[in-house]
Amino acid sequence: MKNSLRQSMAWLHTWSGLLLGWLLLAMFVTGTSAYFREEISLWMEPELHASHATPETPELAWQALNRLAPDARAWDIRLPDARAPVVELGWQPDTPEAQNEGRRRGERAIMDAATGEILTPRATRGGDFLYRFHFELYGVPRLWARWLVCVATMFMLVAIISGVITHKKIFKDFFTFRPGKGQRSWLDAHNATAVLALPFHFMITYSGLLLFMVMLMPWGIDAAYNGDRRAFFDDAFPRATETTAQSQEAAPMTDIAPLLAQTRRAFDQPVTRIEVNRPNRAGATVSISTDREPEITGRRRGSAPTLVFQANSGALLETRPGTSEALPAAVRFYNLFANLHLARFADPAVRWLFFLSGLGGCAMVATGLLLWVAKRTQQLKQRQPGASLRLVNALNMASMTGLIGAMAFYFAANRLLPVELAQRESWEIRVFFISWLLSLAHALWRPNRRGWIEQLAGITVLWLSVPLLDMATTGSHLFSATAWQHGALAGFDLACLLLGALWGYALWRVARHGGGKKGTARQPRRSPGTATGAAS
């Protein structure tokens, strides 16, 4: 249909990009925030902020479970770490009903790591809402949403490959950015954010598909295992089988402190998790795990260095060094991509690196969408834009400033909605979607430069006021002790201020430079880099 490979690829890139760009942008924005999912959740539960780990924390947790569920079937204690300052207590009630509900069901409680008090944080979905949204959206049947997201991801992969083919001088233009040239500048910005972060874009897209490969591509399993997926999982991703003692005879457990010290010494790492089987009975066992060395091709779960003790006598039963067993190459390949996508191994610095790369991804999709409009605006000369161009521009606005504004509303709702409100967590999410819809309505009403300026002004004010709201409602602020005790809180406020400043800069560029041309859309998104693309 087209003359050359390059032209047909350009066509494919443009149209598949436009069709799925808005969805991809929403996935990129919420997915990028998910690198700090636990930090966002912590920020959204101010009731937990006073908690901090002390040397006595494991014993407090031990006492708390003895108090709460002395005759549970199993205990699970997750101690505070760099990302979460509280203790998560889990236990499985020893009733037939609880067992029938499957392994995952159980009771949970959050404990203050310093006082041992059980905390009840406000009802919120926290960072998990944004994280879940990025691969299963909201309010759509889960399976449908996942398929839709995967289709968009697949076309992102196609867009990456076709984009590389389309790009005429990919290495020659590697460092090229020509500001102040309208469409040309948007193209340069799109290329720069795409090509420079190409390894990240490819990784995040391809691994996103791999994470859902059993749903997307079950045909290999069905062919080789005659459809027996359980058998495949047992082969490819084996789990350690648990040995469970069945005794009901009550028997006291030994002091936990020496066992903790022994584990700490054995692996030279702080203890992160304590699991107990049949607590307070004869034959109880306790497994104490520490952090493991980051291992990028290793398994996603388990295999942390662990000592298993007989809990009544304190005798050492087993040492699991946590070195990863020799995995087959294909599984290691899968793990590599899965671990990279989820940033499982990441220390804070690396997490920021991924976050910034994610912003680069947002910028790439956003500049691509803006380029589509800029190109057609330029072709208009002096004529009025048609309905379709106005529609695309409005959808661009809603998908960029609208979503960013909705996130700020979500955070603000967390602080402003009454703590005792019924269905509180749903209300936070409703605020998110209502504000997003309102921004779409506004964008459809004023789909031009005025609209962009108003929405940019709105998100600037919103993001800058989130830290203020935090200070007003919880007393925690950038210079307070709580904020720095948990770096996450200071980081959250700081990120809000920086992003707010970035939106403000974008606003300034659009307001100052955008007037000359047909100003439908020329405002940058999300990366300080592309902000300079605003000149016209």
Partner 1 sequence: MMVWLALALAYAGLTALALGMKRHHQSLLGAKPSDARLRAFRVTGWALIALMLLCCLRLWPLGLALSLAFGLATLAGLPLIFLLPYRPRLAARLALALPLAAGVGVWVV
Partner 2 sequence: MSRSASSRLFYYRLSVASRTVAAVLGGYALSAASTAALAVTLPMPRAEAVVSATVFSFLVYSGAVIWAFATHSALRAWLGIAAPTVVCVAVALLGAPS
**What's the number of CA atoms in the CB half-sphere (13 Å) around residue 461?**
6
Query: How far is it, in rounded angstroms, from Cα 159 to Cα 396?
Result: 18
Residue 207 · residue 340 · CB < 8 Å = yes
In the complex with partner 2, the residue whose CB is nearer, 235 or 293, is 235
Query: How far is it, in rounded angstroms, from Cα 506 to Cα 402?
Result: 15
What's the alpha-carbon Rg for the chain, to the nearest Å?
Answer: 26
DSSP codes of every residue in 125-144: -HHHHHHHHHHH-SSS-HHH
Residue 356 binding target from partner 1, partner 2, none, CB below 5 to 8 Å by type:
partner 1
Q: Which residues contact partner 1 by CB under 8 A?
A: 172, 174-179, 192-193, 196-197, 199-200, 203, 293-297, 336, 340, 345, 349-350, 353-354, 356-357, 360, 527-529, 532
Diameter of the chain measured on Cα atoms: 88
Residue 217 binding target from partner 1, partner 2, none, CB below 5 to 8 Å by type:
partner 2
Which of these segments, 153-161, 246-254, 268-276, 341-349, binds partner 2 (CB under 8 A)? 153-161
Which of these segments, 95-103, 202-210, 250-258, 512-520, binds partner 2 (CB under 8 A)? 202-210
Give me the least distance between CB of 194 and partner 2, in Å please: 16
Distances in Å between the Cα of 299 and the Cα atoms of 160, 212, 240, 331, 339 are 28, 16, 12, 9, 8
Element housing 109 (H / E): strand 107-111
Q: Enumerate residues 165-194 that contact partner 2 by CB under 8 A.
A: 165
Residue 206 binding target from partner 2, partner 1, none, CB below 5 to 8 Å by type:
partner 2
Residue 200 binding target from partner 1, partner 2, none, CB below 5 to 8 Å by type:
partner 1
Give me the least distance between CB of 226 and partner 2, in Å please: 6
Residue 356 · residue 519 · CB < 8 Å = no
- Asked if 331 touches partner 2 (CB under 8 A), the answer is yes
- Asked if 435 touches partner 2 (CB under 8 A), the answer is no
> Binding partner 2 by CB under 8 A: which of 59, 90, 119, 232?
232
In the complex with partner 1, the residue whose CB is nearer, 203 or 440, is 203
Q: Enumerate residues 204-223 that contact partner 2 by CB under 8 A.
A: 206, 209-210, 213-214, 216-217, 219-223
In 447-460, which positions are buried (b, 16+ CB within 10 angstroms) versus exposed (e)? bbbebbbbbbbbbb
The residues facing 286 across adjacent strands are 276, 309
What residues line the site for partner 2 (CB under 8 A)?
1, 5, 8-9, 11-12, 154, 157-158, 161-162, 165, 206, 209-210, 213-214, 216-217, 219-226, 232, 235-236, 328-331, 333-334
